[in-house]
Amino acid sequence: VSFPWQKREISNFDYLMYLNTLAGRSYNDYMQYPVFPWVLADYHSETLNLTNPHTFRDLSKPMGAQTMERKRKFIQRFNEVEKNLSAQCHYCTHYSSAIIVASYLVRMEPFTQTFCSLQGGSFDVADRMFHSVKSTWESASRDNMSDVRELIPEFFYLPEFLTNANHFEFGCMQDGTVLGDVQLPPWADGDPYKFIQLHRQALESDYVSAHLHHWIDLIFGHKQHGSAAVEAVNTYHPYFYGDKTDLNNIKDPLIKSTILGFISNFGQIPKQV
């Protein structure tokens, strides 16, 4: 089967936006904001080589399974069903949520205010703020078991969100670095425009075009839930599956508000396309 984006009839970016819209995702809803994939795994080289497969993230695996060690831990969690969990799943956090969206876009209004209100009125501790593309990738793909976040469309077209043009005071990190503009990979030469240009080229590259359907299966398709999701190490807490939780049948207002709070804080799985 040849897909429209593989024949270059439509860009990968446009196709992903189309799928997000079909699945009920919208710029108007931070809880169901369009979700885009991490496409690169190289945030350390001086130049970006888009002909080398090792430059890219493994699009056939969710963020929780990008390294063997991490994948093993999440499978272990699934098999053990931790005592404090009400359901069997690999991930108790989500790849897209209001706080993830607001944290990425925190340097621009109205997202600055949104972020603060979600954080209880102030910015987060500086070290936990979005400050570096490389360290965010390392956190989401390797280091942090409660971080499986993907990206948002702005990473492929909007250089402005990477600079602190409004001079917000985000504080200092533990190593003394004052938080300002987002730290970019060496191959971007400190230029947000160059970062966006190369990142968009990566999204439209031959490698991504050939493998993007695997990621689409995980997020929008048949590996989203059920046995295929279990096999793909791609299951989330049941509350994230909005269409699977019938709130109308839940009579207890406390349980109902808990579930709604959970979804608004931690995100929602897109409708299956």
Of 225, 222, 213, the C-alpha closest to 268 is 225
Residue 264 has pLDDT above 70, yes or no: no
Tell me whether residue 126 is in a domain. Answer: yes
Residue 3 has pLDDT above 70, yes or no: no
How many domains are contained in the chain?
1
Q: Which range marks the domain in which residue 19 is found?
A: 3-266
Write out the DSSP string of 121-188.
SSPPPGGGS--BHHHHHHIIIII-TT----B-GGGGT-GGGGS-TT-----B-TTSPBP-SPBPPGGG
Residue 112 has pLDDT above 60, yes or no: yes
Range from 9-23, 127-141, 244-258 carrying the lowest mean pLDDT: 244-258
Tell me whether residue 58 is in a domain. Answer: yes
Tell me whether residue 271 is in a domain. Answer: no
pLDDT band at 48 (very low <50, low <70, confident <90, very high): very high
Confidence at residue 126, expressed as pLDDT on a 0 to 100 scale: 84
Please confirm whether the linkage preceding 192 is cis (ω < 30° from 0): no
Bridge partner residues of 56 (DSSP): 40
Residue 48 sits in a domain whose CATH number is: 1.10.1540.10
Tell me whether residue 272 is in a domain. Answer: no
Task: Compute the distance between CA of residue 12 and CA of residue 200 in angstroms, rounded to an integer.
Answer: 9
Q: What is the pTM of this model?
A: 0.91
Tell me whether residue 218 is in a domain. Answer: yes
Burial of 136 (0-12, 13-18, 19+ CB in 10 A): buried
Tell me whether residue 273 is in a domain. Answer: no
DSSP helix/strand/coil, 248? helix
Confidence at residue 268, expressed as pLDDT on a 0 to 100 scale: 82
Q: In the numeric block, which tokens belong to residue 8?
A: 């270059």
Give the single-character DSSP code of 42: -
Bridge partner residues of 91 (DSSP): 236
